Homo-oligomer: A and B are copies of this chain.
Amino acid sequence: MDPLVREINQYLVTIFNDVLAIEAESLRDGEFSDLSIKEMHTIEAIGMYKEHTTTEVSRKLGITVGTLTVSVNHLVKKGYVERVRSEDDRRVVKLGLTNKGRLLYRVHDKFHRDMVKETIDEMDPEEAQMLTKGLRNLYQFLEVTKQQLKKKDKK
């Protein structure tokens, strides 16, 4: 087996665990310690600009709509998220962030970007491009895989 594959795989697994652990840790000590890391990611997925429906956000997070509804209940109660019924289709709920939610989003986003920035500052621009390309490939592969799974599911 290709040792490069093994190495990349190893990095991915460790990076994911590390990012999670670091995020959780800095969340616990900080200004927003009433939130779990999962709730943080839900806020991230709801996002700043476009309004997103419950179904869209749940798909983005890879959880069921029911799970998201429960989580959003908490986040509304804590004052981070707002629900707005769509005018076009009254079945649909659009999720958005409150001011407090947007503040948190910015803090978390900065954390992420600093992390990435520190990394690519070590690299010359060409290398940074390569990293991006690699990630883009991985991303595309995963999107295709996800589509295939969904199809298989319907059968």
Residues 124-150 of chain A: 1 if any B CB is under 8 Å from the residue's CB, otherwise 0? 000111111111111101110110010
A residues 15-63 in Cβ contact with B at 8 Å = 15-22, 24-26, 44-45, 60-62
Residues 84-127 of chain A: 1 if any B CB is under 8 Å from the residue's CB, otherwise 0? 00000000000000000000000001001101111110110001
- A70 at interface (Cβ–Cβ under 8 A)? no
Which has the most chain B C-beta neighbours within 10 Å: A21, A44, A149?
A21
Q: Compute how far the CA of A131 lies from the CA of B113 in the bound complex, rounded to whole angstroms.
A: 18
Given A4-B132, A62-B18, A131-B134: A9 in contact with B149 (beta carbons within 8 A): no
Q: Compute how far the CA of A137 lies from the CA of B138 in the bound complex, rounded to whole angstroms.
A: 18
CB-CB under 8 A from A1, the residues of chain B are: 113
Q: A62's closest neighbor in chain B, by CB?
A: B21
Tell me if B8 and A139 are in contact (CB < 8 A): no
Given A9-B112, A22-B149: A134 in contact with B128 (beta carbons within 8 A): yes
Partner of A134, one of B16, B19, B130: B130
Closest beta carbon of chain B to A34's beta carbon, Å: 19
Tell me if B119 and A127 are in contact (CB < 8 A): no
Given A9-B116, A149-B25: A18 in contact with B131 (beta carbons within 8 A): no
CB-CB under 8 A from A123, the residues of chain B are: 133-134, 137
Partner of A22, one of B8, B109, B146: B146
